């Protein structure tokens, strides 16, 4: 989880570097990447843990691809939580794009069923499961954008309830309720596809 970030100084340093980066300070990007690389690598490894053994992406490659996407974006990061949430979303999109490419190469391959027992598993275990889960998350985000963001921050970025609450500007209780409701909705949604 976010245990590596329990030191308030590191959190503040990331926020300071993000501010410096917005202001165009020289060297901010390199210092930021060095400071957050371990956390990005942890998120990528968690996302990749459930992937196929023959997956062509490694956690390191996923981190670098996500970082390249972030560097090319016009996103203005508010703080560490916001940055990690956007990075996790970029990693999710990379994995989904990769899965779609593999499915297209197989010429369809049929639809899979994602298993998200409580959304505690690190990642979907096949391309099809990842695509099914992604589609369900997109539907959830249409119905309840905040619940979609809570799932993204908790499941994909690995943030704690307190960090999600801070990032979204809501209470921990609200995050807990949204997390429970989102997991139940996703479970019903995915079970209905089985």
Residue 17 · residue 35 · CB < 8 Å: yes
* Closest to 79 measured CA to CA, from 173, 179, 169, 193: 169
Q: Is the pLDDT of residue 122 over 60?
A: no
Q: Is the pLDDT of residue 180 over 50?
A: yes
For 82-109, write each residue's pLDDT tens digit.
888 888 888 888 888 888 887 777 654 4
Question: Considering the entire predicted model, what is its pTM?
Answer: 0.69
- Report the chain's mean pLDDT, rounded to a whole number: 78
Q: Is the pLDDT of residue 142 over 90?
A: yes
For 38-54, write each residue's pLDDT tens digit.
888 888 887 777 666 66
- The whole-number pLDDT of residue 139 equals 94
The Cα–Cα gap between 179 and 113 comes to: 21
- The whole-number pLDDT of residue 50 equals 64
Compute φ and ψ for 149, nearest 5 degrees. Answer: -70, -40
Quickly state the pLDDT bin for 179 (edges 50, 70, 90): very high
159-169: burial string, b at 16+ Cβ within 10 Å, e else = bbbebbbbbbe
Instruction: Identify the burial level of 90 via C-beta atoms within 10 angstroms of its C-beta, where 0-12 means exposed, 13-18 middle and 19 or more buried.
Output: buried
Q: Is the pLDDT of residue 70 over 60?
A: yes
- The whole-number pLDDT of residue 5 equals 42
Residue 69 C-alpha from the chain's centroid? 14
């Amino acid at each position: 989880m976010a245990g590596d970030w329990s030191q308030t100084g590191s959190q503040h340093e990331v926020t300071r570097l993000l501010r410096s980066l917005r202001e165009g300070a020289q060297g901010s990007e390199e210092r930021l990447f060095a400071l957050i690389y371990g956390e990005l690598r942890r998120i990528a490894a968690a996302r990749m843990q459930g992937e196929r053994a023959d997956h062509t992406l490694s956690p390191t490659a996923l981190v670098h691809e996500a970082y390249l996407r972030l560097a090319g974006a016009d996103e203005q990061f508010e703080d560490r939580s916001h940055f990690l949430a956007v990075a996790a979303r970029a990693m999710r999109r990379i994995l989904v794009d990769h899965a779609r490419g593999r499915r297209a190469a197989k010429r369809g391959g049929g639809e899979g069923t994602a298993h998200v027992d409580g959304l505690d598993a690190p990642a979907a275990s096949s391309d099809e499961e990842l695509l099914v889960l992604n589609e369900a998350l997109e539907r959830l985000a249409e119905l309840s954008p905040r619940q979609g963001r809570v799932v993204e921050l908790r499941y994909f970025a690995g943030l704690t309830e307190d960090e999600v609450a801070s990032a979204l500007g809501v209470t921990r209780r609200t995050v807990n309720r949204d997390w429970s409701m989102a997991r139940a909705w996703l479970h019903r949604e995915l079970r209905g596809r089985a």
